[in-house]
Chains A and B, each alone.
Chain A
Amino acid sequence: MPRNARTNALGLSRNDYRGGKSTLCPGCGHDSISNQIIRIAYELGLEQHNVIKMSGIGCSSKTPAYFLGRAHAFNAIHGRMPSVVTGATTVNNELVAMGVSGDGDTGSIGLGQYKHLLRRNVPMVYIIENNGVYGLTKGQFSATADEGQFLRYYGDNDLPPIDLALEAIVSNCTFVGRSFSGDPGQVQALLKASIAHKGTAVLDIVSPCVTFNNAPDSTKSYPYGREHEIPLHDIDLLAPDFVEEREEIMIEDYEAGQIIDVPMHDGTVVRLKKTDRDYDPRQRVQAIQLLEEARMDNLLLTGLLYYEEPRMTLAESENLSDRPLTQLPDDMLRPPREALDNLMQSMM
């Protein structure tokens, strides 16, 4: 049966994946990312009732209200989204967690929880909408702001930035991407890949703040991003059932060594096609070196920065029952009377 062009595999329209109207400033990079989430969720046919949208506090953390209106959402407290997701996904392993955070929420108040989330390999997509500035409190520097940057009310920033992608790599995150909200195609590709990843997938997306930090010399601005973004590769996502097509492309369009196929846990293949430079994201030291190079040369290198075969998720390493703990029947929640009686007897 031919699929209706205007609905996806679930028979839902793109509209069904929208959320409420954004209250962010017109032109905000975050709204663009919300739109990419809507788009890929529609294309992937995500079941929204299994999605949880999680956030902390800040402009970025407001965005879960603006996409996937049929998914449960939790706008928690500042910097603590990681712990909330850890609890929710551990007790229900069927949930697809999409977290949205910002550079303040992750890089300052939430840095500890961020690192520990990665250490635990909590299955989720962790999006950092990184604009280098505190928006809701009107323009303070964040921990990712450029060293030597000048902002109107707060003067010069004398401190070096924290690179949240680098932090992820050294914290044993197994999927780390960087992108630019002005590059919707790449954002979509990385979003799709990150959803297929088993474990924490971090996407550090430069998402300009049009109100407080959009001067051309800021590395978090639109002009800078448009000028300086260097994609490390083109990213294609091959669904598990498109094996033949995959073979064809490989043979016809690319020479050996120009393509890196990264198989995901669910059978999806993330295909990285070489652009200008040779880069294999499966080498941790190379990834760190790349980020060092980006730092020294002020480059916005985007794409899949680092990938490794995911290790056990938290629920797996805890040896938890495969069924969601939230769905256990009462007789599995309370041992029988004899269990207590025997125990009491043994204590007498």
Chain B
Amino acid sequence: MSIAEIQQGTEFLAEERESQVNDFAFMVATKNGSGSQTSNSVLVRSLFHMGIPVNGKNLFPSNIKGLPTWYTIRVSSEGYIARRDTTEIAIAMNELTAAEDIADLPEGGVVILPQEWKWGRTRDDIIWYEIPVKETIRQFKIPSARREQVGNMVYVGVVAWLFEIPLDQVHRALSDQFRGKAGAVNMNFEIIEAAWEWARDNLVKQDPYRFAPMNLTEGKILITGNEAAALGAIFGGVTFASWYPITPSTSLIDALLGYRHLRKDPESEKDTVAVIQAEDEIAAIGMVVGAGWAGARALTSTSGPGISLMSEFAGLAYIAEIPVVIWDITRMGPSTGLPTRTSQGDILFTSFLGHGDSQQVVLLPRDPDECFEFGWKSFDLADTLQTPVFVLSDLDIGMNNWMSEPFEYPDRPINRGKTLDKIGLEEFFAERGEWYRYRDYDKDGIAWRTLPGTDHPRAAYFTRGTGHNDKGEYSERSDDWVENMERLRRKFETARTLVPAPEIETSPGLRIGIVSYGSNDPAVQEARDRLRADGIDTSYLRIRALPLKPEVITFIEQHDRIYVVENNFDGQMTSLIRIDMPQDNSHVKSLALGDGLPMTPRFVYENILSMEQGHNAQERTY
């Protein structure tokens, strides 16, 4: 397998843009488990500190140690942070994939590889830099267990010299990476410096690529979506989390544990957020359902296989009306699928999760900023609607570092929804003379609930997944069943009014609309710029939640041609749109990628371009 097999095609190379400063991409090929994630993060952070818009995408295998792994870093002076699927520079540190890594370079590309391989220059249309990896680390006393990891710092030093990353920025990035631990910072920095000096004394710069400081990252942060989600949950009042380890969602819980200190009980210094590792995902959501029922703000975080296991409890929480938040950091399925590759393939399954007639509320963050926002909003929404709220992030958002605006503090107080405490219940009785758990007093489908522990003789109710009437009593009567389902449908319509609205960019007279969601956003935005340069102006609507808001349907109706861009194989959002607008949907075209990698601008651009050209050709024919 090579990165070319993983990624496909060629696109916007640097020379097309006529700029080789801050507008190119490079790829680091290493072995999984060799510690290269650290050195790659240091590079990304250094560039970020230089003020250059940057992204880093980890294309890693499902393996602890040994299998090939690639990391792509793209810089863009125009601020594009979508993944580019061709890189001008290859840092080939894995001998097993080097032949292909080198073969994949475009003409004029650059390869950096270890001297000790004695590789020979197998192409004369690229630039070669052979570097002394082993020799450099030999100068330092490094425990053998750490040798491979710090060996990766050699290429950091060489890259810093070749492409002009100031060493003080590298040092700062190292400090970030090791959270200021001086020993680790110094050990790694010594090697970087030595490699940098070696490069200065021995290499002749032959390529045109370099980094130059900018100020486009000022005031921004670099963070993964999973960290952002955890932080959002902390500010959203999470009190209970249960989970079962699964890539790529595990780092969300890791981050939650890391941020738990923000929420200590000031009196006892004890934790106010319980984090329980469950025996499987069924138990994880079971605990969360129990906690949500008892009045906690409860979340679980999982990925596809976990979502499959959670479906029975999701149905129970739906029909018993229990607020819970479920993060799905989506990876490629079905089944175990591609466990370390990204996907938007759970959206159709999740939006109906559970057997029988159930419709779930789903939030679709596009980046870490929205992971933070939905991190706290999801709890308000779940409590307000008394229903599960799913947040569908993905591996690309969740595990890769994204450039982001700093997060905004929640703009509204915590909303616990229609929950009656002892006094509330007394007032309710005084006002209405009764209280029944599932009676639709406000005609919005949302009933009033009490929590266990409420000191009132009539606070208790019976929670069940079986048929019940609006008093919560067991009932097998058809009229009770239908009445309850009608109320739940009413509640779903209320949900439609409460979920986040889509983001729309349009201007009068535009005939082509792009509809997308989630992590595709940077690719769609870049593709739109390219299309505009080719004379194709597009509107853009980014869906942020299910159920679909009326604005989505209106937008689709207002355009002659709609392209639904998504990163699954079947075009699942397209199907959901067609369910909500069964008539006049023939102008809705699906552009579904679903190859396991983050969406690329090229996929969006080329497909829309060719379909539009085809359309224009057709128009001319008739």
Task: Give Cα distance in the complex from A91 to B288, angstroms.
Answer: 10
Report chain B residues within 8 Å CB of A92.
294-296, 451-453
Give a binary string over B315-340; 1 marks a CB under 8 Å from any A CB, 0 the rest: 01000100000000000000000000
Selected contact of A328 from candidates B272, B278, B292, B461, CB within 8 Å: B272
Q: Decide if B462 touches A65 in the complex (CB within 8 Å).
A: yes
Q: Decide if B464 touches A83 in the complex (CB within 8 Å).
A: no
Q: Decide if B274 touches A340 in the complex (CB within 8 Å).
A: no
Report chain B residues within 8 Å CB of A112.
279-280, 283
Task: Tell me the minimal C-beta distance from B468 to chain A in angstroms.
Answer: 10
Q: Decide if B286 touches A72 in the complex (CB within 8 Å).
A: no
Among listed B100-108, B154-162, B234-242, B574-582, interface-contacting one: B234-242
- Tell me which residues from 239 to 266 in chain B have a Cβ below 8 Å from any Cβ of chain A: 239-240, 242, 262-263, 265-266
Task: Tell me the minimal C-beta distance from B232 to chain A in angstroms.
Answer: 10
B454 at the interface (CB under 8 A from A): yes
Selected contact of B276 from candidates A48, A65, A86, A343, CB within 8 Å: A86
Give a binary string over B273-299; 1 marks a CB under 8 Å from any A CB, 0 the rest: 111101110111111111111111110
Task: Give Cα distance in the complex from A76 to B221, angstroms.
Answer: 43
Report chain B residues within 8 Å CB of A4.
none
Q: Decide if A88 touches B291 in the complex (CB within 8 Å).
A: yes
| Interface-central residue, A49, A87, A319, A321, by most chain B CB under 10 Å | A87
Q: Decide if A49 touches B455 in the complex (CB within 8 Å).
A: yes
Q: Decide if A83 touches B287 in the complex (CB within 8 Å).
A: yes
Report chain A residues within 8 Å CB of B295.
91-92, 326-327
Q: Decide if B452 touches A70 in the complex (CB within 8 Å).
A: no
Report chain B residues within 8 Å CB of A64.
462
Q: Decide if A77 touches B293 in the complex (CB within 8 Å).
A: no
Q: Decide if A90 touches B463 in the complex (CB within 8 Å).
A: no
Report chain A residues within 8 Å CB of B465.
75-77
Selected contact of B265 from candidates A52, A332, A343, CB within 8 Å: A332
Task: Give Cα distance in the complex from A90 to B296, angstroms.
Answer: 10
A69 at the interface (CB under 8 A from B): yes
Known: A90-B274, A325-B239. A75 touches B463 (CB 8 A): yes
A147 at the interface (CB under 8 A from B): no
Selected contact of A87 from candidates B231, B240, B262, B463, CB within 8 Å: B240
Q: Decide if B406 touches A330 in the complex (CB within 8 Å).
A: no
B182 at the interface (CB under 8 A from A): no
Selected contact of B262 from candidates A82, A116, A335, CB within 8 Å: A335
Can you list 17 A-B pairs with a CB-CB distance of less than 8 A?
A73-B463, A75-B462, A83-B278, A83-B287, A86-B242, A88-B294, A91-B296, A92-B295, A113-B279, A318-B274, A318-B275, A320-B271, A326-B451, A332-B265, A333-B237, A333-B297, A334-B376
Closest 8 CB pairs of A and B: A83-B286, A87-B290, A333-B237, A87-B291, A326-B295, A84-B290, A87-B287, A344-B406
- Extra contacts besides A320-B271, A340-B407 (20): CB < 8 Å: A71-B460, A72-B451, A72-B460, A72-B463, A74-B290, A74-B293, A74-B464, A83-B278, A83-B282, A87-B292, A91-B294, A95-B452, A112-B283, A113-B282, A116-B278, A324-B453, A325-B240, A325-B274, A334-B237, A334-B410
